[in-house]
Structure 1
Amino acid sequence: MLKRNLAELSVADGKLYRDAMARYAGHVQLVTTAFNGERRGLAVTAACSVSDSPPTVLVCLNHHNEKNRIFFESGIFALNSLAFHHQALSHAFSGLEKLTMDERFGHGNWDTLVTGAPALVDAIATYDCRVVNMIPQSTHTIVVGEVAALRLGGQNPALVYMDRSYRTL
């Protein structure tokens, strides 16, 4: 009989859950938006495709962070998929360095596509989206966006985050 390392998860044990999720590989993306002359961007792995008809993606954002309100008010966002050479850029947008938004955006070359959300010029892919649904769930809001424009960049190795470090495929 195989021995299993089993831990019962209580509702209050977020650390155990976070440790388990650290083993989950996720493509690193920068989610960005702009509204009333302000820009915001975050490094995330909680983003994925929803549908190809119409092209739709989602991103999960912490709604307890007051600074994320701009994502819920702007009605737009861009998902910028990062390549392995974007590690420093991801770190700048992670919040760990306590950089201002202007300092974060100073680390990349940015333009806009259709919606006005900041688009990383050399991203593997940029999904420029209009928000079509927001679903509050626990500490986060699932923001669903219909892709209004798409830009494909170079076919560089993807930047992946797993076991609390960067990796590539």
Structure 2
Amino acid sequence: MTDALHTPAAVTLTSFRDAMARLGAAVHVVTSDGPGGRAGFTATAVCSVTDSPPTLIVCLNRNASAYPAVVANGVLCVNTLAGGQAGISNTFGGKTPMAERFAAGTWSTLETGAPVLEGAIAHFDCQITERTAVGTHDVLLCQVVAIHSDTAAPGLLYLDRAYHALHGG
């Protein structure tokens, strides 16, 4: 018997992207500052690796406007967005000039000097310890050197190509 579940479909760029759109992910604005300049981008490709030492994976397209600065700086901050911050995600995810992106929020710093977004629900201040090229992206291993979180605010999720504010319960 052959049915849709047992008939493999070709993996195309479109089929892969459509299937990945079905995976919900937290929304982050990843920022950096240092000798390469101030830069930031929106990312959902962020994942915990280990808690000893605290390490994250951040995936960054090598064609992204933020790429040269992030690599030159060697530091970044993963700012996990709150439910009401979809607008800042759009600003950092589009073709908005870098200086205008940072005008969209209020910023401070922790240990590395990477910009920390006020109102985000978590901040992971990191040093990039390793880079590995995979296809169009670099996978960045990032050791967390400082952390701050606000567990009271709801988070922002991206699913089915749309934002959804999470509400605790």
**Normalising by structure 2, what TM-score?**
0.90
**Superposition misfits of 4+ residues, deviation over 4 angstroms:** none
1:45 aligns with 44
Bigger Cα displacement from structure 2, 61-70 vs 15-24: 61-70
- What's the CA shift string for 1:121-165, capped at 9, x where partnerless? 221010000011111111111001111100112421110001000
Query: 1:1-169, aligned counterparts within 5 Å?
Result: 3-4=3-4, 6=7, 8-10=9-11, 13-36=12-35, 38-65=37-64, 67-95=66-94, 98-169=95-166
Bigger Cα displacement from structure 2, 128-137 vs 145-154: 145-154
Bigger Cα displacement from structure 2, 105-114 vs 37-46: 37-46
Q: Give secondary structure in 2 for the equivalent of 1:18.
A: helix
* Unaligned 5+ runs, structure 1: none
- What's the CA shift string for 1:54-105, capped at 9, x where partnerless? 111110001133641211221101000001111111111111xx32111111
1:90–1:65 CA distance, 2 compared to 1 (3 A): closer
Contact 2:61–2:136 (Cα < 8 Å) also in 1: yes
1:90–1:148 CA distance, 2 compared to 1 (3 A): same
Structure 2 Cα separation of the partners of residues 65 and 120 of structure 1: 20
Bigger Cα displacement from structure 2, 36-45 vs 71-80: 36-45
Structure 1 Cα separation of the partners of residues 83 and 127 of structure 2: 27
Q: Give secondary structure in 2 for the equivalent of 1:84.
A: coil
RMSD: 1.8
Letter in structure 2 aligned against 1:8: A
* Unaligned 5+ runs, structure 2: none
Q: Percent identity?
A: 39
**Normalising by structure 1, what TM-score?**
0.90
